[in-house]
Amino acid sequence: MCMIPTPRRILLSDSLKLAPKKGENTLLSPLTVLSALAMTANGAVGETRSQMEAALGMSVEELNLYLYTYIKNLPQQEKAKLSLANSIWFTDDEGFTVNRDLLQINANYYGADIYKAPFNSRTCKDINNWVKQKTNQMIPKILKDISPDAVMYLVNALRLRANGMKLMKRLK
């Protein structure tokens, strides 16, 4: 695999400074952060897009191709499997229009599941169930409720399935 270029390493190292709350088991993956930023950048235009590209170190189109290739080459062996799941949830409110190209690009490059929903308590449960299923029950809940101001959620989940006991014994 390629070394992540310097601008993205800096950006990702800053994102890793987010401190977990005491007593919580928190894992922040640079891959999920970069994927979420790239998926978001697909919807950006003008100066915002230019700034995101500068921070990410390449054009959005180049980043899409880079991450598509990277994700497709993640370990998929019986002893170790890393899988990334993405989804975009957007409100069915008639006053909100979603860019169809954003949805299609993220579906094509990131395998994003796309959901149009009423953004009520049922949708909150659906998002939590999606995450629970994609993480093999490891993350049972990410949302308490849906903000009344929300119109879209970009959700991603990373799952590592590996024979950890054998790995831990080898590391000792």
Q: Are 37 and 64 in contact (CB under 8 A)?
A: no
Question: Two tokens at 94?
Answer: 């008639």
Do 90 and 107 belong to one domain?
yes
Indicate the pTM of the whole model: 0.80
Q: What is the pLDDT of residue 165?
A: 46
| pLDDT above 90 as % of the chain | 59
User: Which residues in 33-68 are b (16+ Cβ under 10 Å) and which e?
Assistant: bbbbbbbbbbbbeeeeeeebbeebbbebeebbebbe
Do 39 and 82 belong to one domain?
no
Residue pLDDT, tens place only, 116-171 = 999 999 999 999 999 999 988 888 899 999 999 999 999 998 887 777 545 444 54
Examine residue 55 and state whether it is found in any structural domain, yes or no: yes
Strand ranges across the sheet with 113-117 = 113-117, 80-91, 152-162
- Rounded CA-CA distance 170/33 in Å is 30
Do 163 and 126 belong to one domain?
yes
- pLDDT top residue among 66 and 77: 66
Domain of 117: which CATH number? 3.30.497.10
Q: What is the pLDDT of residue 14?
A: 52
Q: Which amino acid is at 137?
A: Q
Number of independent structural domains in the chain: 2
Do 87 and 166 belong to one domain?
yes
- Tokens 């101001």 belong to residue: 149
Do 50 and 85 belong to one domain?
no
Do 44 and 81 belong to one domain?
no
CB atoms within 10 A of CB 15: 16
Residue pLDDT, tens place only, 47-73 = 999 999 999 999 999 999 999 999 888
Do 167 and 89 belong to one domain?
yes
- Rounded CA-CA distance 24/17 in Å is 15
- For residue 44, give its domain range: 1-16+28-73
